[in-house]
Chain A
Amino acid sequence: MINLFRLTSFRLIFIYTILLVISVFLIAFYLHLSTSRDLKNRVDEDTIKESKMLISVYQRGGVNRLARSIAQLSQIPNANLYALRNNKNDIIAGNFNDKESLWNLKRLDDGWVSFSSIRNQESINQSLPPKEKFFRGKEFILQGSYNLIIGRDVSNEVYLWKRFLTNIISATFFVLILGLFGGYVLSRNILNRISAINRTSIEIMDGDLSQRLPVGLIDDELNQLSANLNLMLDRLNKLMIGMKDVSDNIAHDLRTPLNKIRTNLEVTLMSNPTSENYKNSIQEVIQDIDIVINTFNSLLAISRVESGSLSLDKEKIDINKMLENVIDLWEPLAEEREIILINQCDQDVQLEGNRNLLSQAISNLIDNAIKYGPNGNKINVGAKLEKDNVILWISDNGPGIPDSDKERVLERFTRLDISRNTQGTGLGLSLVNSSIKFHKGSISLLDSNPNGLIVKLELPKIN
């Protein structure tokens, strides 16, 4: 047996059922109270009117006239109840004859009296056992020691109230049972679905990342939650695969320079070296190790930018000035290869961002364009405003990137065949990519006509 109270759904339904019962009870009670009070007031008014009339009859005609009037009134169907008593408590007129019941009549706070009787039956149906009847009335003391009681049969109301109480209690009981049962059924349903989610989660935790949570046909909260968790798992899985690729690549990329270092040192040792040989070898080794360190530094830089663990300052950057600066850095190298670097930037293009990261991104892109393009290449670098975005571009007429590789080159350690023989870490474009992500922009690689690559960066003006 499951502990139902541990389930949120059951607890909620239970609390709601209780609240519903209480409010139904209150509403019914209030309705009953207000209607019965109205009815009572009307009856009381009638009684008072009649009493005034009878008292004036008595004052004018004495007790005999009063007795006659009472007798007449008693004839009317649904008549009130009359009991005229003398000072010996004998009933001398009226339609009420149970004199014992009048000995213990109750005087109410509002000046009225109430009494009950099982004997005063003018019953139509004698076969039924006599039922206690309840009366409400007013007592008048007449001069000459007569006592007049005018009353009304209120048995119906009393019985109605009793029935109302039993009914409301049984109804409450019924609603409670129904609510608890409904809660149980509904919770069972939700519980089953949650158990399925729990089971799958445990399987996933045990290492089977291919498992997905069950998603039903109905678009409700639970299914939405499952679908979102599934999307999250997809993303995690992709990241895991990415991580694995990256670590494989790190291992591969670091093995190459380390092998080279090892070979270099071995050869130096074998060849009966002079101190000059040693010095040269050591210097070469230092250079090779620098490559390894560079790779690590770039990797760290990328992951810092991507994880957002870096609290980077943002400032207003004059893009034209920034491009001038980067071009200035690369121009001598470009000129050596007869490559022309052209700045096509519009004036007054400004962007809120991190100057260092953006400069590095542009620098990496220019580096690539120079590295992979032919001598005599022409590289255009530019920027313009387009609505709320700054469009930055670097175009060349080098070999370009085939469509099939365009997505891949942004990933870490991707090196295309064309770049096998040039020096590089395969991290340059990844760093551009993460820097653009940091600025909440997008990067697209387009073909230039007739050949070459256009790298287009779209960055929001204000981050």
Chain B
Amino acid sequence: MHILLIEDDINAARYVIKGLRESGHVVDHASDGEMGLDMTLSSSFDVIVIDRMLPKIDGLSLIIKLREENIRTPILILSALGEVDEKVKGLKAGADDYLAKPFSFSELLARIEVLHRRTNPETEETFLKVGNLSMNLLSREVHRSNIKIDLQPREFRLLEFLMRRSNQVVTRTMLLEGVWEYHFDPQTNVIDVHISRLRSKIDKPFNENQMLFTERGAGYALRSND
């Protein structure tokens, strides 16, 4: 994946670049808004990561400019402000996701990968399939190997979220934001319990390969079993 990082803090940039390269991505770096704009106009990227506070052109204005230039590349905005209202501003300007500083690298990586895959975000799809697990969004039925699985509404939404991002790491924060619409972290890891419940329904009864994994220190991933 070809990623452009527009970030003026050299130290933060260096460690993000190192991490992304270790994960097998190609990373370009711009240290101010103007340079970032030039680079996005001259070559194409899969994902652009933009810091909210930038010299010359600030993050929000840069995003608005890019969208005006009809550049549809998924954008993740980073900010030290880290509040819900700031997030709304970022998304309104045209960003696709928002991450508050300080963040863990795994969180950033997970979000970048999800952004890249989500070419058609939350489309009108009515049928999701991961391995032999299938979900019908109209009849709200879930099957694995043609056996029907009964899920409670919340479990259904959780599974839907995971299936739309299959084979990718999904963090706890992403689940809280996406499924519960909460922008805070409960002190106790409640999400773990939800995941293990879901696992007991979609994995346990089937003598097949496990699908729902816990990635230590990072999050969870639903992987196709074939």
Across the two chains, which residue of chain B brings its CB closest to A357?
Answer: B184
* Those of B171-192 within 8 Å (CB) of chain A: 180, 182-188, 190
* Those of B26-63 within 8 Å (CB) of chain A: none
Residue numbers in B under 8 Å from A301 (CB-CB): 184
Tell whether, in the assembled complex, residue B188 and residue A328 are in contact, meaning their CB atoms are under 8 Å apart: no
Across the two chains, which residue of chain B brings its CB closest to A428?
Answer: B187
Question: How many residues of chain A get a CB closer than 8 Å to chain B's CBs?
Answer: 33
Tell whether, in the assembled complex, residue A356 and residue B217 are in contact, meaning their CB atoms are under 8 Å apart: no
Tell whether, in the assembled complex, residue A283 and residue B217 are in contact, meaning their CB atoms are under 8 Å apart: yes
Tell whether, in the assembled complex, residue A359 and residue B182 are in contact, meaning their CB atoms are under 8 Å apart: yes
B150 to chain A, nearest CB (A): 15
Tell whether, in the assembled complex, residue B84 and residue A312 are in contact, meaning their CB atoms are under 8 Å apart: yes
Q: A294-B185, A356-B183 are in contact. Are A313 and B102 (CB under 8 A)?
A: no
Residue numbers in B under 8 Å from A424 (CB-CB): 187
Instruction: Report the separation of the CA atoms of residues A312 and B84 in the bound assembly, to the nearest whole angstrom.
Output: 8
Tell whether, in the assembled complex, residue B188 and residue A423 are in contact, meaning their CB atoms are under 8 Å apart: yes
Instruction: Report the separation of the CA atoms of residues A387 and B102 in the bound assembly, to the nearest whole angstrom.
Output: 43
A333 at the B interface (CB under 8 A)? yes
Residue numbers in A under 8 Å from B197 (CB-CB): 332
Residue numbers in B under 8 Å from A294 (CB-CB): 185, 187
Question: How many residues of chain B get a CB closer than 8 Å to chain A's CBs?
Answer: 21
* Those of A397-433 within 8 Å (CB) of chain B: 423-425, 428
B85 at the A interface (CB under 8 A)? yes
| Proximity string of chain A (299-330) to chain B, C-beta cutoff 8 Å, 1 when within and 0 when not | 00100100000111100000000000100111
Instruction: Report the separation of the CA atoms of residues A333 and B192 in the bound assembly, to the nearest whole angstrom.
Output: 9
Instruction: Report the separation of the CA atoms of residues A311 and B88 in the bound assembly, to the nearest whole angstrom.
Output: 12
A230 at the B interface (CB under 8 A)? no
Across the two chains, which residue of chain A brings its CB closest to B180?
Answer: A329
Residue numbers in A under 8 Å from B141 (CB-CB): none
Q: A287-B217, A311-B85, A356-B84 are in contact. Are A328 and B154 (CB under 8 A)?
A: yes
* Those of B80-136 within 8 Å (CB) of chain A: 83-85, 88, 102, 104
B134 to chain A, nearest CB (A): 24
B153 to chain A, nearest CB (A): 9
Tell whether, in the assembled complex, residue A329 and residue B217 are in contact, meaning their CB atoms are under 8 Å apart: no
Residue numbers in B under 8 Å from A333 (CB-CB): 188, 190, 193
Tell whether, in the assembled complex, residue B188 and residue A286 are in contact, meaning their CB atoms are under 8 Å apart: no
Question: Is the contact region of chain A dominated by helix, strand, or loop, or is it mixed?
Answer: helix
* Those of A243-284 within 8 Å (CB) of chain B: 283
Across the two chains, which residue of chain B brings its CB closest to A309?
Answer: B83
Across the two chains, which residue of chain B brings its CB closest to A300?
Answer: B82
A363 at the B interface (CB under 8 A)? yes
Instruction: Report the separation of the CA atoms of residues A359 and B180 in the bound assembly, to the nearest whole angstrom.
Output: 11
A133 at the B interface (CB under 8 A)? no
Instruction: Report the separation of the CA atoms of residues A333 and B182 in the bound assembly, to the nearest whole angstrom.
Output: 17
B194 at the A interface (CB under 8 A)? yes
| Proximity string of chain A (357-389) to chain B, C-beta cutoff 8 Å, 1 when within and 0 when not | 001100110010011000000000000000000
Residue numbers in A under 8 Å from B180 (CB-CB): 325, 328-329
Tell whether, in the assembled complex, residue A363 and residue B217 are in contact, meaning their CB atoms are under 8 Å apart: no
Q: A304-B83, A311-B85, A312-B85 are in contact. Are A293 and B188 (CB under 8 A)?
A: no
Residue numbers in A under 8 Å from B186 (CB-CB): 329, 360, 363-364, 367
A361 to chain B, nearest CB (A): 10
Most buried by B among A290, A313, A336, A363: A363
Instruction: Report the separation of the CA atoms of residues A297 and B184 in the bound assembly, to the nearest whole angstrom.
Output: 10
Tell whether, in the assembled complex, residue B187 and residue A364 are in contact, meaning their CB atoms are under 8 Å apart: yes
Across chains A and B, which 4 residue pairs bring their CB atoms closest together, nearest first?
A332-B193, A360-B184, A286-B217, A333-B193
A283-B217, A294-B187, A359-B184 are known contacts; what are 5 more A-B pairs with Cβ within 8 Å?
Answer: A329-B180, A332-B194, A356-B182, A363-B182, A367-B188
Residues of B within 8 A of A (CB): 83-85, 88, 102, 104, 154, 180, 182-188, 190, 193-194, 197, 216-217
A-B contact pairs, 12 of them (CB 8 A): A287-B217, A293-B104, A311-B85, A312-B83, A312-B85, A313-B88, A329-B186, A333-B190, A336-B193, A363-B182, A367-B188, A371-B188
